[in-house]
């Protein structure tokens, strides 16, 4: 029975003199907001007032979530500078209460401990972590354009050391339980998540400061002021090289670390107090909060959709193997069909190896691994396909649909089963013409790189039924991906916008600008995947097929571009052939010198002399301008319902998240300025830059 209880937590006696404060917020994860922080403060006051309690333990009822920190929605709801300051002060006050409590406080960390949740744990005298793959400790505020603001940046620096703290605070490194123990963030690791506290809690005592763990190298480089300054200068150089423009949060965090190490804890807190209002008002923060709020809303909307329990997958492509493995891990039964028996045997071996590697990373048991393998049944026949709810066509090939395959498939599946085609260069209309029930066909686009993009694009044709849409939304929810919707006849929105940028990057190469200059410019803009890197991940052969499909929409034959034709002739297809725009080695990518040499010989004479800064400005103006324009063309054609959907899809597919998506970027830049820039580019380079009608209206 609970000794103290409120809406989101309770306090129970977990042993003689031990009070366990148990977090149990709504949903599957614990998040912090003002009301929950107030409840924690009330519970601490009640525990401190009870003389029989000598230890206070902070833990979670949810095994997979100690605390995920603060929701983006909570931050987005802080509408004034005063609201931000009040929330920061409340969090700092609760952390100070944990640190200054009359009794020792112990955080029992089981599951994810991120952001403000980690600050709560660091405020305790002791930390004990459960040793399982789900336990992760990390600072995540930079993902939202913010910095840790509850006063514990200095604790991370003190416990982990300056160099390691930079990896945690600026690099976003997530630590396992064992890594956190080695780095000094936790004091003990336990294997069993028992209801009774570990032995450390029985003898817990207050302590003023924790003796930091240091390697000999850390002692050497961090023991005196001038060596610490060298480390911080090195971090500054890394930020200058890697950080996109207009991202203030990492610089403010580095400033807080510098103030903490050079002038003390109070100077670090003062820096945070001064920086937080500026960050909260920045465009980067507002945009990053927006994408997370949109993402959470879409995931919430799809969460109630029924998941398919049995699916069939056609083909032996990397995407087919990835989908089979992920579906099996989520408990779905999979029929994997490949018509060639030898190919089927090879992909089955690769599939088992993939599941085995995933099992080792996730730390699952041998029984769970066996269950996952047994859920997948490779076959060369159609047996039991009449039991599946969803069939995914992931077969390799060109733009034509195999009529024989379509007829065989329709004969062997249930009338209500949904057919999803994942190759975006194949038209749904070609499938629908061959089927007796065209409503069951839908497009499902998985953006490159395979398995890493956190979304799928659901592409509907004019005859696609609502049941097909619900089925693939449930499939996306099962895979943990956001499902964004678009109309298929015009090619969807993701490929339309991305390929317009890829096309412009190819034009820039043909004008003598070096590949590395194109990549550096877009990296500075903040693209998650730069254009040529993205093409290598997609594959030049697949890009050529998509470009042919999109030729009417893009208004140019990008697939016939001389750079594309040369690379296809040379079989420089990207990662699948090791060489593309880059040479892809096991652990890194390097310059593809034969391609660079060919580009110089072929196009160097067309280059206009420009400085590096001028080239960067030109590259960004043309690629970004074209992508923004194409996004508004998609809105004009009603391929998607709203600018929010365009921005969410593109940000999750690789657009610079802190820029807010192409539509928001156009709004923040100013529509008149965007239209004027496009009109000037149209005069210089042709009709492909002609401003969209929607942009002209807004300007």
| Active site positions, annotated | 119, 141
β-sheet bridge partners, residue 189: 129
Distances (CA, A) of 82 to 78, 85, 86, 148, 508: 9, 5, 6, 18, 48
Reading the block at residue 298, the tokens are: 């879409």
For the residues of 515-535, what is the DSSP string, one character each? HHHHHHHHHHHT-SS-HHHHH
- Residues in Cβ contact with 215 at an 8 Å cutoff, skipping those fewer than 6 apart: none
Reading the block at residue 80, the tokens are: 């004034």
β-sheet bridge partners, residue 312: 335, 391
* Antiparallel, parallel or unpaired: β 112-114 and 136-138: parallel
β-sheet bridge partners, residue 313: 336, 392
The end-to-end CA distance of the chain, in Å, is 64
CA–CA dist 519, 247 (Å, integer)? 18
Angle at 533 between CA 529 and CA 537, to 5 degrees: 95
User: Where do the DSSP E strands lie in 454-585?
Assistant: 455-460, 482-487, 582-584
Please name the residue ranges forming H helices in 282-402.
Answer: 283-303, 318-329, 341-362, 366-374
CA–CA dist 649, 644 (Å, integer)? 9
- Residues in Cβ contact with 93 at an 8 Å cutoff, skipping those fewer than 6 apart: 41
Residue 612, Cβ density class (10 Å: 0-12 exposed, 13-18 middle, ≥19 buried): exposed
CA–CA dist 581, 515 (Å, integer)? 8
Reading the block at residue 3, the tokens are: 């000794």
């Amino acid at each position: 029975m609970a000794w103290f209880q409120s809406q989101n937590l309770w306090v129970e006696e977990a042993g003689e003199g031990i009070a366990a404060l148990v977090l149990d917020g709504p949903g599957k994860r614990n998040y912090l907001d003002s009301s929950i922080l107030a409840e924690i403060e009330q519970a601490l006051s009640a525990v401190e007032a009870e003389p029989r309690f000598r230890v206070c333990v902070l833990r979670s009822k949810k095994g997979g979530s100690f605390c995920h920190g603060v929701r983006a929605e909570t931050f987005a709801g802080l509408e004034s500078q005063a609201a931000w300051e009040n929330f920061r002060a409340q969090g700092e006050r609760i952390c100070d209460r944990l640190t200054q409590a009359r009794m020792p406080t112990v955080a029992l960390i089981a599951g994810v401990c991120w952001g403000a949740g980690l600050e709560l744990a660091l405020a305790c005298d002791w930390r004990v972590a459960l040793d399982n793959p789900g336990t992760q400790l990390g600072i995540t505020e930079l993902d939202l354009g913010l910095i840790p603001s509850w006063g514990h940046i200095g604790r991370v620096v003190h416990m982990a050391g300056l160099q390691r703290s930079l990896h945690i605070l600026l690099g976003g490194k997530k630590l396992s339980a064992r890594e956190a123990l080695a780095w000094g963030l936790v004091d003990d690791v336990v294997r069993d998540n028992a209801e009774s506290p570990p032995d450390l809690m029985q003898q817990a005592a207050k302590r003023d400061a924790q003796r930091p763990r240091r390697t000999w190298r850390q002692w050497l480089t961090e023991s005196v002021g001038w060596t610490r300054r060298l480390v911080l200068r090195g971090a500054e150089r890394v930020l200058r090289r890697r950080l996109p423009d207009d991202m203030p949060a990492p610089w403010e965090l580095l400033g807080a670390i510098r103030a903490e190490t050079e002038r003390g804890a109070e100077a670090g807190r003062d820096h945070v107090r001064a920086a937080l209002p500026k960050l909260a008002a920045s465009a980067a923060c507002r945009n990053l909060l927006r994408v997370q709020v949109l993402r959470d809303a879409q995931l919430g909307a799809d969460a109630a959709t029924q998941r398919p329990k049995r699916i069939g997958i056609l083909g032996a492509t990397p995407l087919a193997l990835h989908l089979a493995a992920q579906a099996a891990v989520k408990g779905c039964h999979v029929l994997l069909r490949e018509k060639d028996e030898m190919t089927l045997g090879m992909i089955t071996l690769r599939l088992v190896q993939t599941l085995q590697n995933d099992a080792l990373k996730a730390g699952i048991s041998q029984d769970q691994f066996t269950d996952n393998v047994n859920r997948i049944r490779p076959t060369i026949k159609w047996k039991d396909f009449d039991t599946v709810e969803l069939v995914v066509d992931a077969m390799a090939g060109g733009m034509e649909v195999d009529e024989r395959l379509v007829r065989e498939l329709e004969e062997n599946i249930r009338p209500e089963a949904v057919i999803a085609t994942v190759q975006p260069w194949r038209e749904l209309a070609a499938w629908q013409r061959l089927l007796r029930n065209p409503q069951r066909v839908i497009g499902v686009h998985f953006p490159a790189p395979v398995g890493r993009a956190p979304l799928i694009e659901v592409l509907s044709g004019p005859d696609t039924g609502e049941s097909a849409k619900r089925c693939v939304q449930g499939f996306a929810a099962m895979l943990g991906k956001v499902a964004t919707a678009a109309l298929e006849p015009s090619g969807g929105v993701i490929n339309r916008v991305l390929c317009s940028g890829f096309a412009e990057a190819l034009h820039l190469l043909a004008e003598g600008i070096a590949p590395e200059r194109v990549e550096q410019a877009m990296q500075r803009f903040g693209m998650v995947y730069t254009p040529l890197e993205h093409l290598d991940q997609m594959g030049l052969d697949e890009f050529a097929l998509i470009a042919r499909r999109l030729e009417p929409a893009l208004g140019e034959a990008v697939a016939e571009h001389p750079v594309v034709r040369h690379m296809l002739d040379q079989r420089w297809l990207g990662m699948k052939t090791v060489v593309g725009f880059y040479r892809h080695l096991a652990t890194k990518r390097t310059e593809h010198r034969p391609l660079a040499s060919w580009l110089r010989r072929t196009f160097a004479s067309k280059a206009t002399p420009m400085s590096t800064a001028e080239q960067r400005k030109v590259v960004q103006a043309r690629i970004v301008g074209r992508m923004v324009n194409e996004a508004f063309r998609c809105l004009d054609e009603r391929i998607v319902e709203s600018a929010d959907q365009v921005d969410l899809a593109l940000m999750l597919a690789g657009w610079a998240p802190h820029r807010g998506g192409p539509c928001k970027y156009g709004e923040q830049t100013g529509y008149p300025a965007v239209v004027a820039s496009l009109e000037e580019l149209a005069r210089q380079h042709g009709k492909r830059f002609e401003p969209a009608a929607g942009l002209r209206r807004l300007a």
